[in-house]
Amino acid sequence: MKIQQIRNATVKITFADKVFLTDPMFAPKDEYPPIPESFTPDLKWPLTDLPVPVEKITENVDAVIMTHYHIDHFDEFAVKALPEDIKMFVQDDYDRKVLVGFGFKDVEIVQESGTVFGDAVLYKTNCLHGVKETTMPYFNMFEIRHEAMGIVFKSDEEKTLYLAGDTIWYDGVKETIEKYNPDVIIVNAAKAQMKKSGPIIMGTEDIENVHKCAPEAKIVASHMDTVGHATLNREQLREFVEKNNLFESVLIPEDGDIIVFDKE
């Protein structure tokens, strides 16, 4: 298994001889206006440029996974860059119709019971994209959906990978870890939030809970240092990891970094 952190939640995963691209967001730096009601309401985003050219990112990709249709997980630059006939995986029929509307021709819904792709099996997992009582007013304001998914990747050829997706720590994440016993867990870790929403993805406490639930797993921190509503950056997370002696368990790749996990 090879994991390349591209930028934000865009990750290139080589698994069981297939190359997956998750949540492609290809906008150049400062393309989008500041996020209203965030703690940095004057900050344009993405905060950084892509670490490599788009053509290099899309090279040799066998399938794209869109965990949910939010602009920081699939944008108009990705629509233009990806071939219409590329394999796409989504969480439900709503998101399938979104991508079909963009012209993509091979869009499949990932099943909780498992979806086979080559020698890999993908399992849809649930997310809690922030506590609904506090987040839904913002989701409704921005006219976006709350629903999102994670994915478990399984193969006889590889360690088990859990891409947790846009979620905070809650019983659904705990149940997924207990069910699949993943060796590697990618968490979206920027603790993004609006002024009164509470976190909508993981922060340090969530990561600590993931580690306690899966003490042998390697945790890879993604979705960092890119969006305007983030409240946790890599430097702060490194300080937390060092303070809590988690440096052997929590990996914090920079954009463009590649991490390899061999099947043992």
Render pLDDT for 45-93 as a digit per residue (tens, 0 to 9).
999 999 999 999 999 999 999 999 999 999 999 999 999 999 999 999 9
- Percent of the chain at pLDDT above 70? 100
Render pLDDT for 215-229 as a digit per residue (tens, 0 to 9).
999 999 999 999 999
The pTM (predicted TM-score) of the whole model is 0.98
Average pLDDT over residues 89-110: 98
Note the pLDDT of residue 99: 98
Q: Is 64 helix (H, G, I), strand (E, B) or coil?
A: strand
Q: How confident is the model at residue 13 (pLDDT cuts 50, 70, 90)?
A: very high
Q: What secondary structure does DSSP assign to 192-219, as a single string?
A: ---TTT--SS--HHHHHHHHHHSTTSEE
Q: How confident is the model at residue 264 (pLDDT cuts 50, 70, 90)?
A: confident
Render the burial of 67-105: b for 16+ CB within 10 Å, e for the rest.
bbbbebbbbebbbeebeeebbbbbbeeebbebbeebebe
Domain that holds residue 115: 2-260
- CA 240 to the chain's CA centroid: 21
Render pLDDT for 133-147 as a digit per residue (tens, 0 to 9).
999 999 999 999 999
| Helices 171-180 and 204-213, packing angle to 10 deg | 30
CA-CA-CA-CA dihedral for 121, 201, 22, 95, to nearest 10: 80
Q: How confident is the model at residue 262 (pLDDT cuts 50, 70, 90)?
A: very high
Residue type, 99: L
What are the residues whose beta carbons fall under 8 Å from the beta carbon of 235, sequence distance 6 or more? none
Average pLDDT over residues 192-212: 98
pLDDT at 205 over 80: yes
Report the CATH number that the domain containing residue 49 is assigned in CATH.
3.60.15.10
pLDDT at 186 over 90: yes
Average pLDDT over residues 87-104: 98
Note the pLDDT of residue 263: 86
- pLDDT averaged over every residue in the chain: 98
Number of domains in the chain: 1
Strand order, beta sheet including 2-7: 106-109, 87-90, 63-65, 18-22, 10-15, 2-7, 258-260
The strand pair at 149-154 and 161-163 is best described as antiparallel
Write the CA distances from 255 to 15, 148, 214, 216, integer angstroms. 20, 23, 25, 25
The strand pair at 63-65 and 87-90 is best described as parallel
pLDDT at 17 over 80: yes
- Percent of the chain at pLDDT above 90? 99
Beta-ladder partners of 186: 163, 220
Burial (0-12, 13-18, 19+ Cβ within 10 Å), 141: exposed
| Cβ atoms < 10 Å from Cβ of 53 | 10
Sign of CA dihedral 96, 76, 259, 243: negative
